[in-house]
């Protein structure tokens, strides 16, 4: 036993030595919670078992496998549908306070439409998962929608058709009725920019639509209305009896001016306006930011559109939106340097509407995901910006992580990344009075990373994809995170 402890100490010593440089011995608040996150399509597998319907990811990746870098899909993934007990055992060993996972819409309602019938097997799977978590003293944090729109609804326009709002609210009500007695934290949506802008404008993610400058705005508009209606429904029908909390997750990089010039500072503010403020301003103040509305309206007019390409909320929608959250989820990974762009973006497009060029500093460490550079100070700047712009809402960091190409157990870069970013969270809490209530590492285990397939690894746990058993093995970062959670600080 002593030799094992000595070996672990010597193994971690170089990492600890590197990580603690510049760190302060600050402690996480008593009510601060630690967790890890996953999503259904990325880990569950069992894509057509027990009556599950097809999502747009099932459909498009079967039909066009070449869209994914390694031509893979989530048919089996980590096989968590069959191995959820093993996953919960890992979570218990890790010591997390909560586990953020998503529910697959088509596993509950195979046809997607409200009143079209439910799958008892799908309902039972999530019942079992939730009960297993609670038996291990782990809180379930449930994401209602993590990009996997039912194929049947997509055939009717998906998030471009406002009829999807009724179907979504009906789906959410079923989840509250089924699981709300045990689930106390809900997230309505994960990352509007990914499934809306990249899904309906740039054809970079399912459903691979290319409606530049129109599709992303319409999708986001309908999703925000769906969120606000779901929040109202939860407050009126469930909150008093279930005593839960409802929010949503929005992703953004920190926009840093490329230089100290006034122009670059304005460019950085513009990027934050389009990449983050756009999505959350309606939840705080009831409508899109005035400057964003004016700019898109003006550009639309010049481009020959009779009305603005950005849809308008009516008065009742504005009232529904204002204050429609209990907490905000933040997915953050990196920072971008911003300046005004001289290049030609597609016209119309959200890129052209914004007009900002993003770049990276050549000294930054770049992960296996080329967009993801290690810039920990950017997280603190972002947290302070959110505090000042959005009235310091309760903020849960719902994703933060590092990508590698390999799945080695000695993942030093990931250990350093999480340590440095958590250090910035501590500074934001103690020095800046930011209302950060928790931190979620992405992700529990190596999984299907969308268009990169299985070529990018974010997991704290290695998954052997060549094994029919999908063998799980904790990495060094797993044990480091375990230690941070146990000690509630970065330095012993």
Is-catalytic flag, 399? Answer: yes
How much is the mean pLDDT over the chain?
Answer: 96
Catalytic residue among 197, 350, 399, 424: 399
Query: The pTM is what?
Result: 0.95
Q: Which of the four pLDDT bands, split at 50, 70 and 90, describes residue 5?
A: very low
DSSP 8-state code for residue 361: -
pLDDT over threshold 90, residue 224? yes
- The dihedral built from the CA positions of residue 136, 141, 146 and 151, taken in this order, carries a sign that is positive
The token pair at 323 is 């204050």
CB neighbour class for 100 (10 Å; exposed up to 12, middle 13-18, buried from 19):
buried
Model confidence over 141-183: pLDDT tens digits?
Answer: 999 999 999 999 999 999 999 999 999 999 999 999 999 999 9
Please, what's the b/e burial string for 160-186 (b: 16 or more CB within 10 A of its CB; e: otherwise)?
beeebbebbbbbbbebbebbbebbbbb
All structural domains of the chain, each given as residue ranges with its CATH number in brackets, are 30-487 (3.20.20.80)
pLDDT given at position 411: 98
Q: Are 76 and 40 in contact (CB under 8 A)?
A: no
- Which pLDDT value is given to residue 433? 98
271 is catalytic: no
Query: Of the listed 44, 132, 154, 191, which one is catalytic?
Result: 191
């Amino acid at each position: 036993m002593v030799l094992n402890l000595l070996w672990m100490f010597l193994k971690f010593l170089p990492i600890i030595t590197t990580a603690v440089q510049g760190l302060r011995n600050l402690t996480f608040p008593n009510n601060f919670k630690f967790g890890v996150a996953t999503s259904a399509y990325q880990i569950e597998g069992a894509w057509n078992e027990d009556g599950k319907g097809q999502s747009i990811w099932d459909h498009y990746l079967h039909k066009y496998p070449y869209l994914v870098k390694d031509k893979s899909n989530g048919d089996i993934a980590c096989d968590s549908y069959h191995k959820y007990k093993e996953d919960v055992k890992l979570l218990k060993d890790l010591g997390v306070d909560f586990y953020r996972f998503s529910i697959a819409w088509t596993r509950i309602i195979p046809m997607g439409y409200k009143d079209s019938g439910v799958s008892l097997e799908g309902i039972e799977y999530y019942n079992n998962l939730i009960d297993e978590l609670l038996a291990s003293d782990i809180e379930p944090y449930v994401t209602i929608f993590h990009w996997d729109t039912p194929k049947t609804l997509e055939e009717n326009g998906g998030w471009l058709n406002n009829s999807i709002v009724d179907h979504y609210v009906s789906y959410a009500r079923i989840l509250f009725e089924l699981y709300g007695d045990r689930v106390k934290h809900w997230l309505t949506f994960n990352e509007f920019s990914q499934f809306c802008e990249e899904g309906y404008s740039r054809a970079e993610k399912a459903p691979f639509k290319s409606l530049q400058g129109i599709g992303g705005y319409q999708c986001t508009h309908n999703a925000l209305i769906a969120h606000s209606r779901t929040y109202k429904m939860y407050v009126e029908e469930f909150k008093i009896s279930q005593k839960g909390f409802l929010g949503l997750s929005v992703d953004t990089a920190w926009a840093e001016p490329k230089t100290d010039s006034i122009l670059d500072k304005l460019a950085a503010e513009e990027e934050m306006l389009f990449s983050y403020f756009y999505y959350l301003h309606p939840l705080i103040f009831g409508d899109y930011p005035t400057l964003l509305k004016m700019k898109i309206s003006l550009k639309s007019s010049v481009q020959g559109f009779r009305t603005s390409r950005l849809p308008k909320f009516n008065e009742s929608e504005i009232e529904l939106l204002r204050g429609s959250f209990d907490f905000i989820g933040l997915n953050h990974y990196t920072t971008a340097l911003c300046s005004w762009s001289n290049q030609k973006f597609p016209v119309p497009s959200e890129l052209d509407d914004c007009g900002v060029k993003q770049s990276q500093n050549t000294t930054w460490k770049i992960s296996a995901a080329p967009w993801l550079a290690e810039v920990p100070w950017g997280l603190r700047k972002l947290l302070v910006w959110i505090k000042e712009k959005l009235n310091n809402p309760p903020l849960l960091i719902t994703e933060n992580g590092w990508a590698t190409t390999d799945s080695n157990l000695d993942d030093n870069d990931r250990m350093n990344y999480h340590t440095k970013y958590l250090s910035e969270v501590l500074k934001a809490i103690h020095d800046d009075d930011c209302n950060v209530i928790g931190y979620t590492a992405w992700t529990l285990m190596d999984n299907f990373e969308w268009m990169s397939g299985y070529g990018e690894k974010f997991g704290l746990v290695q998954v052997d994809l060549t094994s029919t058993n999908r063998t799980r093995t904790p990495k060094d970062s797993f044990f480091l995170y375990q230690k941070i959670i146990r000690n509630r600080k970065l330095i012993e």
